[in-house]
Chain A
Amino acid sequence: MDRQTVERVARAAHIKLTEEELDRYSSDLSEILTYFELLDEAPGCENWGVNPIEVADVLRDDEPRMDIDPDQLLRGMNTYEGYVRGPRLS
C-alpha cells in the first residue's frame, strides 16, 4: 500500500499520521496485504453469513423503559446544562 493510499485511508478513518507513521504503515500494510493474497486461492462457497452461528432476530415488547438513570450516564461526560459538549459543526 503506497503512502498516498495510506493517507487516504487514514483520512477516512479520522486519523492524522506523521511522516514517519506514513512510511511505516505503508511498509507494514504492504507486507500484510501481500500475505493476504493467499485468500485469492482459497475456496469460496455459497450460503455464507456474517456470523459463525445462525442468529435469529429476538424482539421484546416495544415498551419504553429506563435501564440506566441518564444522570448516571452523564456523570462521566463533559456536559453543559445537561447536554453533552462537542466540537463545532461548522
Chain B
Amino acid sequence: MENKDTQVEGEGTMANKATIVVHSGDMDKLYSALIIANGALAMGMEVSLYFTFWGLQRLRRGALEKGPLSKMNMLGLGKWMVKRKMKKVGVVSLERLMQDFKELGGKVLACDMTMEIMGIKKEDLRDDLISEYCAVGTYVNEAKESTITLFI
C-alpha cells in the first residue's frame, strides 16, 4: 500500500533526518541520545550522532558504559542503583543500543578537535562504530537538512 502523505522508505528528504550532538558523557544522557536515535531510525529517518567533548570519551575502547549518572551519582552508588533497576525493567545495554543503531544504518561521527584537545588518537577509539572523523562543517551541513536536531 502506498500512502502519498507519508515518507517512502529510505528517501533522504528534509523531513526525514535527525542529527544529535552527543556532548555529554553521562550514562543517562547517552541512553536518551541512543534511544531517540534508534526510535528515529525505526520510524524511517536518517540519523547522525555527533560525538564531541565528554560524549567522545565514551567512544574510547571499553568506555561506553563507564559514564556517571548526571544527577545523584553519589560516587557511583546512584548509578549502581539505577543500573540495577534498569536491569529489572529489561532496559538493554548502551552497547546493544549502539549495535542496533549501526545495524539500522545510523552514522556515528567523531569530533576531531576534541581528539586534539584531549589527546585522543584514532587507535584509542572504537573504529568499529565510527563512520567518520569530522569538524563543525559536517555537522552544520547535515543539521540544516534535518527536522530534528538535539544537543544532549
* B partners with A: no
Using a CB–CB distance below 8 Å, which chain B residues touch chain A?
none
